[in-house]
Chain A
Amino acid sequence: MKILVCISKTPDTTAKIAFADNNTKFASDGVQWIINPYDEWYALVRAIELKEADPSTVLHLVNVGAADSDPIIRKALALGGDEAIRVNTENADSFYIASQIAAIAKEGSYDLVFTGKETIDYNGSSIGGMVAELLDLPYISHAVKFTVEGGNAVVVREIEGGEETDKAAFPLVVSCQKGMAEQRIPNMKGIMGARTKPLRVVEPAAADSLTSIASFELPPAKAGVKLVSAETPEELVRLLHEEAKAF
């Protein structure tokens, strides 16, 4: 089986969010970059587990980004995977990015494309579905469990208010979330090995952008907390009922 895992570069979950250039650009000074947690902890680690279970599995990683993505790609390779492909572009429109991944997936004839359920920066939840539509493949989103049974993919996915178990033939696209696998820390052997794994940089395919970011905005600051004494918690209930009209 040939698996392609999509990895995105995002600011660390504790990064301070601020904007530059008249609120048109993310202020990246001093920001620590990480592999998008959904891509790393769930998509990549589950793919590595599949390769561990069947060593004939070919596992490739793809990132759509500029050269500053290379450190997180090396970190991903330290966790596992045979080689990585970086599509060299700074364009952040999801349709454009999905078009690049679809081109790579088509060229490499992968049986399975894994993405995270969303990135923690733009929260679009769009790439997996778009790649699937571009390739005319089934798409199972919000997967919490993935196994191969009798040559088919068996996937448990989150639906509104519960879970659904699906079965589909390969090839397909799956977006991954919590439950798929547990976070791993790269070991020294992996880190050393990652240095010599192939990282192929390719130029983007021709594609359109459907959206662009006009500006950013931070939420307004809170007015401050109104504290109620622990001796009179019933006063909190009164305030929520009468002042905040919350129930």
Chain B
Amino acid sequence: MFSRIGAAQKGLYNHAVMWSFFHKLGSPPWLYDIAGSILRWLLPVTIMALLVGAVWGLLFTSPDFRQGNSYRIIYIHVPSAVVALAGYYVMAIAGAVSLIWRMKMADVAMKAAAPIGAALTFIALFTGALWGKPTWGTWWEWDARITSMLILLFLYLGVVALYEAFDNKEAAGRACAILSLVGMVNIPIIYKSVDWWYSLHQPASIKFSGESAIDSSMLYPLLLMIGAFYALFTCCLLMNMRAELVQRESRTAWVRKLVKQDGAH
């Protein structure tokens, strides 16, 4: 009789330990603080990496044997496109979590990811146009890769607009989560578009298996920039989430305490 109660309590305790991390993740003040302490070191590291990578790619690498100097756009074009795609997964998975578990912080993360993804997709399209003109001879072509990237931009902007369109923010979160989940089919299409169809856009240069089609002297600054853009996405996501948390929790005790501390110095 007593041992049964003990076992039940132990089970309850393990359960509590397992879920305590998730509960912390769901706690706005904890998330606000931890995001702040991550940003304190990640933000300067990100800005340094972006500057070093950009100067390296712009001024210190050799030009390409065929394209000359126009290929230097690769150091912003490829990283922004790669992270725009990865960011979509962050948004869609956060949307799924908020749909299934009704976790408010997942909703905050989904809403925070959308404008950053839109900005990165825009950078990829804009720099692509500037790269296409001197190499292909056109700013824009309705090619499978380029068109599917444009759809990605509309999906991100759609999530931003849909969220604003609802007065009831809970319903807004659910609608946006569904839109981002449905839009997820676009991501493998973007990845595979250059292999499935005849397109003007060339296939990927960086390969996960086998030798990359880009010389190592050009690959290292590119990898640095890809890492820097991932860090940039993380920074912006955390900053957006912190602002959103302050707004949503403006009437709670922890935000009031925060305001008083902020006013003190």
Same complex origin of A and B: no
Q: Please list the residues of chain B having a beta carbon within 8 angstroms of any beta carbon in chain A.
A: none
